[in-house]
């Protein structure tokens, strides 16, 4: 008998809470932490457009949920990730990074019903008026995830967008996509509504320009873009429709440090209203 050829596992995209194949039918091989070779979907520009449509449809429900409910769901993600800790370490993710990623979900979950109180408030004005500023989500956020650290870096860029009511389309690291696609399996079982997080794998050079130029994307986070020329091209594409751009960091950030409030406030709009005082 001839030697048996093992069937490779094929990781798919994550769009609308489901796991579709790329419409192109393409995939590329990646070595897992155990040395096993698996296939990962190679997303196309059409997949980007499909993910944006899905993310836009989810904005109303997710941003309209109570802050407390969003916090509950993010905390549930932490619970599920804790239960699958060994699965991530088997992929080669260091144990301390998995723990930090779990703690980061918990940290952002705790901010869900507090960020509006810190970032908004009543403004002093000269006149018989109330002047109130309240933060609102930007909408659909495109994210280019960092390659290192693959899990903690990903969590650190999507959690602040989610806790403030945004939906996201994430381009995972081409070199280390397995922690990202495995995280989507956690999200799919964590009460997160379909379409709030959409994750695409493949070539950043192929998918990022479409995401940056898409008129229905309100902001783009370029944290994971390491090529200065690509970063500039994406900023130019985003400027065509006045998209908010979070530029790549000039130096590698300390992902294990306290992230502070800026990752959340950078993806908020401030709405200010005037109202006459009663007599």
pTM of the shown model: 0.91
Please give the Cα distance from 74 to 59 (Å, whole number).
Answer: 16
Q: What is the pLDDT along the chain (279 residues), one digit of tens a residue?
A: 678 777 778 899 999 999 999 999 999 999 887 778 889 999 999 999 999 999 999 999 999 999 999 999 999 999 999 999 999 999 999 999 999 999 999 999 999 999 988 888 788 888 888 888 888 999 999 999 999 999 999 999 999 999 999 999 999 999 999 999 999 999 999 999 999 999 999 999 999 999 999 999 999 999 999 999 999 999 999 999 999 999 998 888 999 999 999 999 999 998 888 888 865
Q: Which residue, among 134, 21, 115, has the nearest Cα to 74 in the 3D structure?
A: 115
Following DSSP, what letter does each residue of 120-150 receive, concatenated?
-EE---SSSEEEEEEEEE--EEEEE--SSSH
Give residue 231's Cα distance to chain centre.
18
CB atoms within 10 A of CB 114: 13
Domains, the chain, with CATH or none: 44-276 (3.40.605.10)
The single-letter DSSP state of residue 9 is P
- Rg of the chain, C-alpha, whole Å: 20
Please give the Cα distance from 271 to 13 (Å, whole number).
Answer: 35
* Tokens found for residue 258: 């306290």
């Amino acid at each position: 008998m001839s030697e048996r050829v093992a069937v490779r596992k094929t990781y798919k995209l994550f769009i609308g809470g489901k796991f579709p194949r790329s419409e192109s039918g393409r995939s590329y091989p990646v070595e897992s932490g155990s040395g096993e070779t698996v296939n990962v979907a190679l997303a196309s520009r059409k997949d980007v457009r499909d993910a944006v449509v899905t993310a836009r449809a989810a904005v109303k429900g997710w941003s309209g949920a109570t802050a407390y409910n969003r916090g509950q769901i993010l905390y549930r993600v932490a619970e599920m990730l804790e239960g699958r800790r060994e699965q991530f370490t088997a992929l080669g993710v260091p144990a301390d990074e998995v723990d930090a990623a779990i703690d980061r979900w918990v940290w952002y979950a705790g901010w869900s019903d507090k960020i509006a109180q810190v970032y908004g408030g009543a403004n002093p004005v000269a006149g018989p008026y109330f002047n109130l500023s309240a933060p609102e989500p930007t909408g659909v956020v495109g994210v280019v995830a960092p390659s290192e650290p693959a899990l903690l870096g990903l969590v650190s860029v999507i959690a602040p967008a989610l806790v403030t009511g945004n939906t996201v389309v994430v381009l995972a690291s081409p070199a280390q996509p397995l922690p990202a696609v495995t995280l989507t399996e956690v999200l799919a079982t964590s009460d997160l509504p379909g379409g709030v997080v959409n994750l695409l794998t493949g070539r950043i050079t192929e998918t990022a320009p479409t995401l940056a130029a898409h008129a229905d994307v309100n902001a783009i986070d370029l944290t994971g873009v390491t090529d200065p020329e690509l970063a500039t091209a994406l900023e130019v594409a985003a400027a065509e429709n006045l998209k908010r751009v979070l530029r790549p960091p000039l130096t590698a950030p300390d992902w294990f440090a306290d992230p502070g409030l800026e990752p959340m406030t950078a993806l908020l709009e401030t709405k200010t209203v005037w109202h006459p005082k009663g007599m």
